[in-house]
Amino acid sequence: LRGGKEDSRGALVVLEGLDRCGKTTQSARLVTNLERLGYSAELWRFPDRTTSVGKIISSYLSNESQLDDHTIHLLFSANRWEKRSLMESKLKSGTTLVVDRYSYSGVAFSSAKGLDIEWCKAPEIGLLAPDLVVYLDIPPEKAAERGGYGGERYEQLEFQKKVGHNYQVLCSPTWKIIDACSSMEDVEEQLQEMVLDCVKTCREGKPLSCLWS
């Protein structure tokens, strides 16, 4: 496998965007494509609902339980922290990780409820920094039309508009933006090109770093 070389590491690639922007479909296709090209790659997602913390989050998202906004924020963060060491070892062993949502979701969604943005960023300090953040850009109205929202807690147009605004605040010039209203094939192709570039840079020795850098 390419990427399995002892001295080369995998890339940490994060996909972000509003609910129904196509992230989940595109991250799965990307992993399939990377593997087809001979790279070692895995699909990850946050929240990871399989852990004990993840189960609390899942119950909160489906409105089966209520939690204070700060409390759930810290649980989302804890859910990323509990995967940090596995993330680092996978990357160091040469596997590229394609991650469906990360700390940026944490900040964009929680600050949409009115929490202070710096307070929201603080618990993410020290998590691994992505090598590439791709934002799948879709107007909230368009996202809402896509087969309807699934009925989870945050899947409401007015809330998603605030989240979209917060992503604009968080967005740095290093982010790559793809128009998520393009065809699935176009998005897939653009994404793959960006990621292959990034994978090469990491293989050539780009060091891992930590948030918020």
CB of 23 to Na ion, least distance (A): 5
- In contact, 1 and 39? CB cutoff 8 Å: yes
CB of 207 to Na ion, least distance (A): 29
Instruction: Give the residue with the Cβ less far from ligand DGP, 3 or 22.
Output: 22
Q: Which amino acid is at 112?
A: A
Q: Which does 98 bind (CB under 5 to 8 A by kind): Na ion, ligand DGP, none?
A: none
Interface segment toward Na ion; rule CB under 5 A; list 4-12, 14-22, 102-110, 163-171: 14-22
DSSP code, position 17: -
Task: Calculate the dihedral angle through the C-alpha atoms of 167, 81, 53, 14, rounding to the nearest 10 degrees.
Answer: 40
List, in sequence order, every residue forming a beta bridge with 14; answer none if it has no partner: 99, 133
Q: Residue 81, interface with ligand DGP (CB under 6 A)?
A: no
d(CA 121, CA 169): 13
d(CA 187, CA 3): 24
Q: Residue 166, interface with ligand DGP (CB under 6 A)?
A: no
Q: Which chain residues interact with ligand DGP by CB under 6 A? A: 19, 46-47, 61, 73, 76, 100-101, 105-106, 109-110, 152, 154
